[in-house]
Amino acid sequence: MADETNSLTVWDELTSPLNLVLIGVIVYLIYKIIKSNFESEANVPPPPPPLPKLRKDLTVAELKKYDGTQPDGRVLLAVNGIIFDVTRGKRFYGPGGPYSAFAGKDATRGLATGQVAASENDEYDDVSDLGSDEIASAKEWEEQFREKYDIVGRLLKLGETPKNYSDDESEDKKSQ
């Protein structure tokens, strides 16, 4: 008889109006969570196809075109004479990004000195006037870019001829 009384009180507790309302709210919330997970997966547009790899040496003037404002949206920048495709980081380097001043430019001086300012220099900047700490900083940035982004080619000095890259050439060979 005592077991029967205990089971009745548990059943009475579960079926009390307050608990029924709480159970209903919990079931509704679980339903909304599951439904939103399925909807969010269905409504996410597929990412745009990746741009074909670009492999070429560019002058400072040619590099300017790759500031993220062209129809393909490609963003390139140079560090220590090496051009990187930073399109994957477009929210940082593209139009409106915090480092957009570096898009389509040689970013060596700005990264080395910590000054994110647009440089309108149309000539190759050999950065020979930088101090050893600034040169070390630029080298660190270069290493970070090497780890994260594809190398496009070299930034050409006035009078240098571009190298023709083959499709099977590795990035390590290109940067040398």
67 belongs to a structural domain: yes
What would the two tokens of residue 50 be?
């990746």
pLDDT tens-digit map of 3-31: 555 556 777 777 788 888 888 899 999 98
Q: Are residues 79 and 163 in the same domain?
A: yes
How much of the chain is helix, strand and coil, in % rounded to 5? Answer: 45, 10, 45
48 belongs to a structural domain: no
86 belongs to a structural domain: yes
Q: Are residues 104 and 152 in the same domain?
A: yes
Q: Give the containing element (helix H, strand E) for 122.
A: none
Query: What was the pLDDT predicted at 135?
Result: 93
| Burial degree of 114 (CB within 10 A; 0-12, 13-18, 19+) | exposed
Q: Are residues 89 and 33 in the same domain?
A: no
Query: What was the pLDDT predicted at 154?
Result: 95
Tell me the pLDDT of the chain (176 aa) as tens digits: 455 555 567 777 777 888 888 888 999 999 888 887 776 555 666 666 777 888 999 999 999 999 999 988 999 999 999 999 999 999 999 999 999 999 999 999 989 988 877 666 677 888 889 999 999 999 999 999 999 999 999 999 888 888 888 765 544 444 44
Q: Are residues 68 and 137 in the same domain?
A: yes
Q: Are residues 96 and 133 in the same domain?
A: yes
Q: Are residues 106 and 159 in the same domain?
A: yes
Q: Contact, 120 vs 102, CB < 8 A?
A: no
Q: What predicted TM-score, i.e. pTM, was given to this entire model?
A: 0.68
Domain at 144, CATH number: 3.10.120.10
Number of domain units in the chain:
2
Report the C-alpha gap between 28 and 50 in whole angstroms: 41
Q: Are residues 131 and 66 in the same domain?
A: yes
52 belongs to a structural domain: no
**What 3-state DSSP class applies to 102?**
helix
Q: Are residues 69 and 102 in the same domain?
A: yes
Boundaries of domain holding 109: 60-174
